[in-house]
Amino acid sequence: MKRNLVYLVGAGPGDPRLITVKGLECIKKADVIIYDYLVNADLLKVAKPDAEFIYVGKQGGAHTMEQDDINNLIVKKAMEDKIVTRLKGGDPYIFGRGGEEAIVLYENHIPFEVVPGITAAIATPSYAGIPVTHRDFTSTFGLITGHEDPTKDESSIDWSKISTGIGTLAFYMGIKNLPYITEQLMKHGRSKDTPVAVIRWGTTTQQKTVIGTLSTIVEKTREIKPPAITIVGEVVKLRDQLNWFESKPLFGKTIVVTRSREQASEFADKLCEYGARVIEFPTIEIAKPDTIQPLDAAINSIQSYDWLVFTSINGVDAFFQRLFELGKDIRDLKGLKVCAIGPATEDGIKKYYLRVNCRPPKFVAESVVEELKKVTTIKGERFLLPRADIARSFLPDELQKLGGKVTDLVAYKTIMAQPRNMNLVDKLRNGEVDIVTFTSSSTVRNFVEIIGKENLLALNSHVQYASIGPITTQTAEEMGLHIAIKADEYTIPGLVSAILENAAASSAEES
């Protein structure tokens, strides 16, 4: 029985979180994903590891593939007995040529389903603070292509009816034809003072909104390039009251996250919630140690220890992964007391249904020793510390000075990541980056090595550096980087709070 099926899926207007639940399911189950220019590439991260990605984007006048070729490609892949997800920006049936693709599938007897998406005409003005209908202004709303050729003899748009017969008008991709659009609307009775909004990259952190009237908007948007949507109507006046998205505290800020790829998303999501544009630039990767034997030996004699001390979530994950690989489980940890540095580490331990017996108030090694003194004698007790290969020696040294018996072993390695986004150097030089964040000393050292010290020293005047804690700050300043933003609480939420406070202080100074 054949399993071929094509999903024509609307990916939404730009913010990847605006895709439908069913749309996301179609990405996850696809063998082949054929996607457009306006599809947010973050959506592809949820696809199967062996899924085939085919980009067929159309940008301006440059077409990666003509529509007939795209149609043939969809048919070809479906004929290979594959599940194909055709991912289109917005909604596939609203100026997305999804109807044309569906007809080709019908003609070739290929089963298909259509998954609607949130279209730009609704989502983009919403993110710009503009409701497309409002009973005090209008009860009618029209969606119109902005692609019409102004040189053709006759327009397929009835300008005499839409100009005054519909309250709110949304023109898709009409930047190049904006002079023609505004001319036709005014020529056919729409007041030259009608409010107009042009919104570029709507619903994303790159969103830019320009407000004018039919008589002024062309001049005001001379520097605006596609993709953009144009909203015409009295509802545009509501933007002053309803502009929620562009009013977020970090909107307009570009922030670089240097954490490992596995851990960057959590931090990036928090920053995005406050409106920041985030560039993930992992400078470290987590790898297995050169030899696993010391960790195995410790796990096999785990009952000889009194304390299990975790200094990071990576140490927690590495330890438990190996514990389970050796055929053991949490019952083998019976009787051990557990110490954790920081709430994220504690949360990682709790995932394995273990109680943390000691968590210092400050998330540095110095505080661990002081807290352990309060809950145990230390002298004569045995401590197991599964840590990184580059961990500081302070903690095991101090415990040994107090008479503790310490096994300090490498549970994981921190290595330099191979950067995928080397145009970051250009962005830094061009002033396109506002803040670079560091969450460990290794992120600092690797960032400096990847970018180049000679490049960074020239950027201190217009790029701010943010640090999660004092050890990271010390490393950065030893390397010539001035840390302008310092977290009071040495956690990711603490670092986010410090960035927010810095942004608020900057806004106050500007006003």
How far is residue 6 CA from its own chain's centroid?
28
Q: Using CA atoms, how far apart are residues 470 and 481, in angstroms rounded to an integer?
A: 14
Report the alpha-carbon distance of residue 182 to residue 188 in Å, rounded: 10
Q: Which residue has the tokens 């930047």?
A: 175
C-alpha 292/C-alpha 294 separation (Å) is: 6
CA distances to 49, 88, 108, 189, 340 from 1, rounded to whole Å, are 25, 28, 17, 60, 54
Residue 253, both tokens: 């800020």
Catalytic: which of 88, 91, 173, 486? 173
Q: What are phi and psi of 345, to 5 degrees?
A: -65, -45
Which of 58, 82, 288, 328 is labelled catalytic? 58
- The separation between CA 196 and the C-alpha centre of its own chain, rounded to angstroms, equals 30
* CA triple 6-9-12, angle to 5 deg: 170
d(CA 194, CA 191): 5
Question: Distance of CA 142 to CAs 122, 166, 325, 495, Å?
Answer: 11, 6, 60, 45
Joined tokens for residue 392: 């500081």
H or E element, residue 399 = helix 394-401
| Given 31, 36, 91, 408, the catalytic residue | 36
Q: Contact, 207 vs 199, CB < 8 A? A: yes
* Cβ contact 212:231 at 8 Å: no
Cross-strand bridge partners of residue 337: 307
Neighbours of 49 (CB within 10 A): 4
58 is catalytic: yes
In terms of C-beta density within 10 A (0-12 exposed, 13-18 middle, 19 or more buried), how is residue 109 classed?
exposed
Secondary structure string (H, E, C) spanning 233-286:
CHHHHHHHHHCCCCCCCCCCCEEEECCCHHHHHHHHHHHHHCCCEEEECCCEEE
- Dihedral (Cα; 493, 410, 323, 338), 10-degree rounding: -50
Nearest to 466 by CA among 436, 507, 506: 436
Between β-strands 464-467 and 284-287, what pairing exists: parallel, antiparallel or unpaired?
Answer: unpaired
- Is 36 an annotated catalytic residue? yes
What amino acid positions are annotated as catalytic residues?
36, 58, 173
